[in-house]
Amino acid sequence: MFVSRSSERAIERAGPSGEDTSRFPGSYYAASLGAAIAAPALGGDAITDFCVIGGGFTGLGAALALARRGRSVRLVEMGPIGWGASGRNGGQVHVGWQQDQPWFEQRLGTDRARALWQAALDARAHLDSLIALADDACDYRAGLIHADHKADHVAATHAHVAMMRETYGYDSLTPLSRDALRAMVGSPDYHGGSFDARGGHLHPLKLAQAMARAAQDAGAVLHAHTPCTGLEPARDGWRVKTPHGTITTGQVLDATGAYARALVPQSDAHVLPINNYIATTAPLDPALATSLIRNDAAVSDSRFVVYYFRMTPDHRLLFGGGESYGYRMPRDIAAFVRPHLARIFPQLADVPISHAWGGSLAISPNRLPFAIEPRPGLHAVNGFSGVGVVLAPWLGDAVGRAMAGEANNAYDLVRRLPSPRFPGGPWLRWPTQALAMRFMALRDRF
Ligand SMILES: Cc1cc2nc3c(=O)[nH]c(=O)nc-3n(C[C@H](O)[C@H](O)[C@H](O)COP(=O)(O)OP(=O)(O)OC[C@H]3O[C@@H](n4cnc5c(N)ncnc54)[C@H](O)[C@@H]3O)c2cc1C
């Protein structure tokens, strides 16, 4: 058994984070989705070649890749499809990894650094192909502003832009002076930054649902409201236990993100779940909305605990800010986010908040994702560290192709990335890392 009896009971009741898995959280995304796809819960035993645990971008990417290759694949998700981080994130489309190119060059050499940059561009192009699956293009809007909250960060940002243009030929990036940035973002908090024309923002729950629909159309069988309560080796593969049936499968993928709890301990050791919070305002007067962000771009800042924000199509400000460590979320999330929002936009200090929600993201020690196969036929992909909108569907696709026996560069590149574990094991990694993160977050204030 890979999961203890007590965690088994907890997962059956409410999901490992203690949240209600019977429906989406009360997010703006759930409210603006329309009808969710039908994906009936598993109601008996089944046999399949491949089984994916987790219906977020990673799991859906893998299921879609396998189904498109004519493989028999089932996916189990403990909530509705897209219930986890994939259906509740900021929707910000970042090009690249959580480490910059000089970081890769110094540790892995120039050739691998270049290959990783090309992979980041491939991942971004892959996202375009997924956005195109939805009639409304998942509300995609182009443009991402990086905003520096300290004046002495700006020179480094501009040097980075110059290096990416000259060394990597990436001319979608442009530097922003203090005046140029303030002409785009109506906040006194920022001193300059950069603009990435290949970045952008989208409705992430629409993206997850579009991927799920495409996977079903290609022949994948998706089971929402079906928690995996245990995973056991079987004679020719694995048994995936759920409350109302067992799936016997040749290969299994753990794509449970930050919601993973003791299913595959070898994977858990590489990630730390962190809670992050988002609020949307009531629809704003269009002129006020335009004064906050003038070119409809997404904005993400230089704080350790990043503030990120953008407009929705109906002129709400969708603002992400504030983190907590541990399983519990604040009782009043709107009150938790409001001071962060007011710090950036004092003019919105008393604005009505229509929706507020939290989600868990999985960070890894070096902030890079990993793909491991701890036992034959048992795969795990995780650790996107806050930039999974572009990378998770792409890496899910890569691992799906690899499970189908198709060699691919994307999978090999990620398999070869350094993938340290958090010190302290499953329990001690929490207090030590949380302390370190709180210290870093404190530095944002000075
Ligand atoms: C608040 C927030 C804001 C973010 N903002 C951004 C952003 O703006 N841009 C960006 O690039 N990234 C962002 N991220 C990160 C991004 O959302 C993730 O990296 C990405 O969604 C990870 O996808 P995933 O499929 O690996 O995990 P998830 O989407 O979390 O999927 C895992 C799924 O597994 C399911 N599951 C867990 N355990 C079980 C089980 N035992 N049985 C069955 N199912 C199970 C869960 O219900 C969940 O749906 C944000 C994350 C959060 C939480």
pLDDT tens per residue, range 6-40: 444 444 444 456 789 999 999 999 999 999 999 99
Asked whether the predicted pLDDT for residue 432 surpasses 90, the reply is no
- Average confidence (pLDDT) over 106-132: 98
Cβ of 96 closer than 6 Å to ligand 1, yes or no, is: no
Structural domains in the chain, CATH included, are 5-89+205-269+367-425 (3.50.50.60), 131-202+273-363 (3.30.9.10)
pLDDT one-digit tens code per residue, 374-419 = 999 999 999 999 999 999 999 999 999 999 999 999 999 999 999 8
Rounded to the nearest whole angstrom, what is the distance from the C-alpha of residue 272 to the centroid of ligand 1? 13
Rounded to the nearest whole angstrom, what is the distance from the C-alpha of residue 446 to the centroid of ligand 1? 31
At 435 the pLDDT is 59
Distance CA 82, CA 204 (A): 9
Residue nearest atom 48 in ligand 1 by C-alpha distance: 84
Cβ of 337 closer than 6 Å to ligand 1, yes or no, is: no
At 196 the pLDDT is 98
At 423 the pLDDT is 78
Q: Which atom of ligand 1 is closest in space to residue 298's alpha carbon?
A: 8
At 328 the pLDDT is 78
Q: Which atom of ligand 1 is closest in space to residue 382's alpha carbon?
A: 26
Q: Percent of the chain, pLDDT > 70?
A: 91
At 409 the pLDDT is 94
Mean pLDDT of all residues belonging to the chain: 92
Rounded to the nearest whole angstrom, what is the distance from the C-alpha of residue 192 to the centroid of ligand 1? 31
Q: Which atom of ligand 1 is closest in space to residue 208's alpha carbon?
A: 29
Q: How confident is the model at residue 67 (pLDDT cuts 50, 70, 90)?
A: very high
Cβ of 200 closer than 6 Å to ligand 1, yes or no, is: no
Cβ of 86 closer than 6 Å to ligand 1, yes or no, is: yes
Rounded to the nearest whole angstrom, what is the distance from the C-alpha of residue 180 to the centroid of ligand 1? 34
Residue nearest atom 18 in ligand 1 by C-alpha distance: 388
At 260 the pLDDT is 85
Residue nearest atom 2 in ligand 1 by C-alpha distance: 89
- Average confidence (pLDDT) over 356-368: 95
Q: How confident is the model at residue 188 (pLDDT cuts 50, 70, 90)?
A: very high
Cβ of 273 closer than 6 Å to ligand 1, yes or no, is: no
Cβ of 360 closer than 6 Å to ligand 1, yes or no, is: yes
At 9 the pLDDT is 44
pLDDT one-digit tens code per residue, 77-86 = 999 999 999 9
pLDDT one-digit tens code per residue, 270-299 = 899 999 999 999 999 999 999 999 999 999
Cβ of 76 closer than 6 Å to ligand 1, yes or no, is: yes
Rounded to the nearest whole angstrom, what is the distance from the C-alpha of residue 361 to the centroid of ligand 1? 6
Distance CA 42, CA 32 (A): 27
Rounded to the nearest whole angstrom, what is the distance from the C-alpha of residue 84 to the centroid of ligand 1? 5
pLDDT one-digit tens code per residue, 69-112 = 999 999 999 999 999 999 999 999 999 999 999 999 999 999 99
pLDDT one-digit tens code per residue, 339-348 = 999 999 999 9
Least confident residue range of 1-5, 57-61, 110-114, 225-229: 1-5
At 3 the pLDDT is 38
At 13 the pLDDT is 41
Asked whether the predicted pLDDT for residue 334 surpasses 90, the reply is yes
Cβ of 388 closer than 6 Å to ligand 1, yes or no, is: yes
Rounded to the nearest whole angstrom, what is the distance from the C-alpha of residue 59 to the centroid of ligand 1? 10
Asked whether the predicted pLDDT for residue 327 surpasses 80, the reply is no
Cβ of 384 closer than 6 Å to ligand 1, yes or no, is: yes
